[in-house]
Amino acid sequence: MRQNVLLCRFKTASSLALRALTLASFRLLFLPCLTANLIAAAGFAADDNRDGERRAFQTNASWSPRLNLDSDVAIVYGIDKRLPARIESWRSRGYGVHVMTGVSWGDYGDYLEGRFDGTVHDDEGQTTRDGNRIMHGIGRGIYYICPTESYAQYLCAGVRNALDAGVQAIHLEEPEFWARGGYSGSFKRAWKDYYREEWMPPHTSVDAQYRASKLKYVLFQRALSQVFRYVHDYNAKHGTAVRCYVPSHSLLNYAQWDIVSPESSLLGVGCDGFIAQVWTGTARTPNVYEGRSKERTFETAFLEYGAMQNLVRASGKRVWYLNDPIEDNPNRSWIDYRRNWENTLVASLLQPEVWRYEVAPWPERILHGKYPPDDAALKLPQESRPRIAIPRAYESELQTVFHALGEMKQPSDSIRWQTSGMPGVGVLVSDTIMFQRGDPSPSERWLSSFYGLAMPLLKRGVPVEPVQLEFAGIPNYLAPYRVLLLTYEGQKPPRADLHASLVQWVEAGGALVVFDDDRDPYLAVREWWNSDGNAFRTPRQHLFKMLGLPEDAVGQFAVGKGVVVRASLSPAALAYEKLGGQRVRDLVRQAAEKIGQKWRESNALVLHRGPFVVAAGLSESTPEAKVERLEGHFIDLFDAELKTLRTFDLTPDARALLVDVDALAGKQAAILAASCRVRAWQCTKDRASFATDGIVGSEANVVLSINAPPRSVTVDEKTLPPESSVYADGILRLKYPNASDPSKIEVLR
């Protein structure tokens, strides 16, 4: 046991210094760590763009023929004794291998019960005000951890097993501290170390709750930075290049689910990027628009993915977008899973800067699990609902899309919006949006301070982006935006210097639209705007003073080449008004036109990514607009039979992922779609050949564009029967069973 502790001791002078830092020292790393200077000091390097890691999946299982996914990386979950064997099972089948483990929970009884270092750590659980530990749903007796330095050392020891097994990357999953926690002995000690004052029960005042949330943020930032540094030191000693990633929900979801996580600050302490954990389970969380609270899975996912993409844009780091074909709730139907997966998938594909994907968390529960067949089955009592394995059509559709996701890195000149509202619009959002979610005065439950601004724009086709306020000081970070919306309701600016960057952006020609009635109770917390010589009632007043405006100005004001528009309105209150969305749009349009931007609305979003067309029809949108019709020659990737379409109508809530056949015109032959992995593609004037493998028990459905009927088609030197090799209108369709070992296909012309 003691030997494990020694493994975690840092070897270099820099890591020894890090280990010696107290919580008080980490005040210096809280939030300011992402200034341009600190990004450089952290040794950030541009993404190495390894094309071989476009697609990944995470699994607790070993390889099997039914888990033979079309992907580049298997992320093996857990740092248990079976880890080396599981790693080898995937590596031997040609997958790159990463390892993932939970950092806020896990089967870590050896640490908690003292078998790791001889000390019992039973007061390190996240604890509520009634003294109960906050439990995790994966197993009995597993609860969320309040991270300490010794806990981080324990994680280092587990990570060492993965490093020694030769993995390419480590994923530290879901650093999460619940807003209702903060009452354990370890948290009270951390409070005293960090704030140099006695612990205050978080529920007793907004100041106590805000300070508790900030500390939770710092605790996980510190724990992960210890592990990052350990991995970096291991690399230096062994000549390896293992990277460190954090699979994380978006800060929007964490805020709405009342969770604190270090999010943007991790990029300043050694994180190489993120997996954006956005899926049906997060995106179907209801929000309020025009007074109606309901699930808006597509729109919520679009904004969540946008928030995660925005995290890495400033640093050049890597992000994968997670798509989950089912979700954690096992009591939905296959129809429900499929419908919502298509919603989140299309939302992710409408973010053209990202081309890496986690295609399937837990494929074992997708391909081995059984769930109700349709929505009608959900009306039956749970104990009598029929449960079936994955429908063949959905299984085929998934494999087709997995293949397509490996082709999403396209030249920039082939990416264009065909249909959208006005571009260049963002809503400023800070990690502090997670700090106001607990008693005694939690911010509005549906996160309407954010959605009340973003949803009115997205519903009219404006591809609005969440913009990370912490990064405003990074050179050129705000340059892509012409209009920014801001409120300090529900969130606060973590640093005063960020306002100087906003002022500079406005003066250079930006339009800043501020919605705030200055009534948020968290304005009274002890923070920079009311301490150390500042005496502002609200940070907005500090911003307006820097803009040269009266502190409580309302209306429209020219500032340099730009404009500031302020409405003394609550964004959350606007979300509950039938005409609240229109009031938001009117002010944004006013500001945009003042700086010469032409306002444009749409009831659909259509994006071309090379030969792929990604499209979504919008509900609750422009009622008078005509239905957008796509015309051309398409293969529908959401159709298991991969049918050819000449038109596609973007009715409200319609979703599409199409291949534009004409975009590949002129090639001798090209694969348009495949429900399998395709390797070793070769094409000459009279012959095309390739190899395929896939999920055993499923069907390979391969569609090729080819300029003449083939003379013959063989699979492993056996001629396909006519019904399995059909040619028409320049398209050849092949069908044959998927196999786990590559099958060789040859097309002679």
Q: Model confidence over 488-544: pLDDT tens digits?
A: 999 999 999 999 999 999 999 999 999 999 999 999 999 999 999 999 999 999 999
The reply to whether 86 and 182 lie within a common domain is: yes
Indicate whether 734 belongs to any domain. Answer: yes
The residue among 576, 73, 45 whose CA lies nearest residue 363 is: 73
Cα–Cα distance measured from residue 398 to residue 405, given in angstroms and rounded to the nearest whole number? 10
Cα–Cα distance measured from residue 146 to residue 163, given in angstroms and rounded to the nearest whole number? 25
CATH code, 513: 3.40.50
The predicted structure's pLDDT at residue 107: 87
The reply to whether 566 and 698 lie within a common domain is: no
Cα–Cα distance measured from residue 360 to residue 477, given in angstroms and rounded to the nearest whole number? 32
Indicate whether 553 belongs to any domain. Answer: yes
| Amino acid identity for residue 222 in this structure | R
The reply to whether 484 and 582 lie within a common domain is: yes
The reply to whether 9 and 109 lie within a common domain is: yes
Indicate whether 636 belongs to any domain. Answer: no
- CA gyration radius, the chain: 27
Residues of the chain short of pLDDT 50, as ranges, are 1-50
Question: C-alpha angle 648/654/659, rounded to 5°?
Answer: 45
Helix, strand or coil for residue 612?
strand
Asked if residue 440 has a cis previous peptide bond (ω within 30° of 0), the answer is yes
The predicted structure's pLDDT at residue 45: 31
Q: What is the pTM of this model?
A: 0.94
The reply to whether 72 and 172 lie within a common domain is: yes
The reply to whether 547 and 453 lie within a common domain is: yes
The predicted structure's pLDDT at residue 140: 66
- Number of helices (H) and strands (E) in the chain: give both, helices first: 19, 33
Indicate whether 677 belongs to any domain. Answer: yes
The reply to whether 549 and 438 lie within a common domain is: yes
Per DSSP, helices labelled H in 564-706 are: 571-575, 580-594
The predicted structure's pLDDT at residue 138: 61
The reply to whether 589 and 677 lie within a common domain is: no
**Burial (Cβ within 10 Å: 0-12, 13-18, ≥19) of residue 49:** exposed
Q: How would you label 682-693 residue by residue, b for 16+ Cβ within 10 Å and e otherwise?
A: ebeeeebebbbb
Which of 579, 594, 609 terminates a domain? The answer is: 594
Helix, strand or coil for residue 100?
strand
The predicted structure's pLDDT at residue 20: 41
Indicate whether 485 belongs to any domain. Answer: yes
Contact 695/359 with Cβ under 8 angstroms? Answer: no
The residue among 107, 93, 103, 239 whose CA lies nearest residue 166 is: 239
Cα–Cα distance measured from residue 518 to residue 575, given in angstroms and rounded to the nearest whole number? 17
Measured between alpha carbons, how far is residue 176 from residues 40, 199, 528 in Å? Answer: 27, 21, 26
If one counts the domains in the chain, the total is 3
Cα–Cα distance measured from residue 638 to residue 655, given in angstroms and rounded to the nearest whole number? 9
Cα–Cα distance measured from residue 565 to residue 567, given in angstroms and rounded to the nearest whole number? 7
Q: Which two tokens stand for residue 441?
A: 């005065």
The reply to whether 578 and 716 lie within a common domain is: no
φ, ψ for residue 415, nearest 5 deg? -105, 125
| Amino acid identity for residue 188 in this structure | K
Cα–Cα distance measured from residue 641 to residue 636, given in angstroms and rounded to the nearest whole number? 9
Indicate whether 706 belongs to any domain. Answer: yes
Cα–Cα distance measured from residue 207 to residue 492, given in angstroms and rounded to the nearest whole number? 13
Q: How would you label 70-107 residue by residue, b for 16+ Cβ within 10 Å and e otherwise?
A: bbbbbbbbbbeeebeebbbbbbebebbbbbbbbbbbbe
Which of 248, 268, 292 terminates a domain? The answer is: 248
Domain residue limits at 678 = 669-748
CA torsion angle 217 219 223 224 (round to 10) = 10
Indicate whether 34 belongs to any domain. Answer: no
The reply to whether 561 and 681 lie within a common domain is: no
The residue among 399, 405, 406, 404 whose CA lies nearest residue 675 is: 399
Measured between alpha carbons, how far is residue 494 from residues 31, 32, 205, 224, 273 in Å? Answer: 7, 8, 19, 21, 22
The reply to whether 684 and 568 lie within a common domain is: no
| Amino acid identity for residue 616 in this structure | A
Indicate whether 312 belongs to any domain. Answer: no
Cα–Cα distance measured from residue 596 to residue 485, given in angstroms and rounded to the nearest whole number? 17
The reply to whether 590 and 699 lie within a common domain is: no
Which of 248, 274, 309 terminates a domain? The answer is: 248
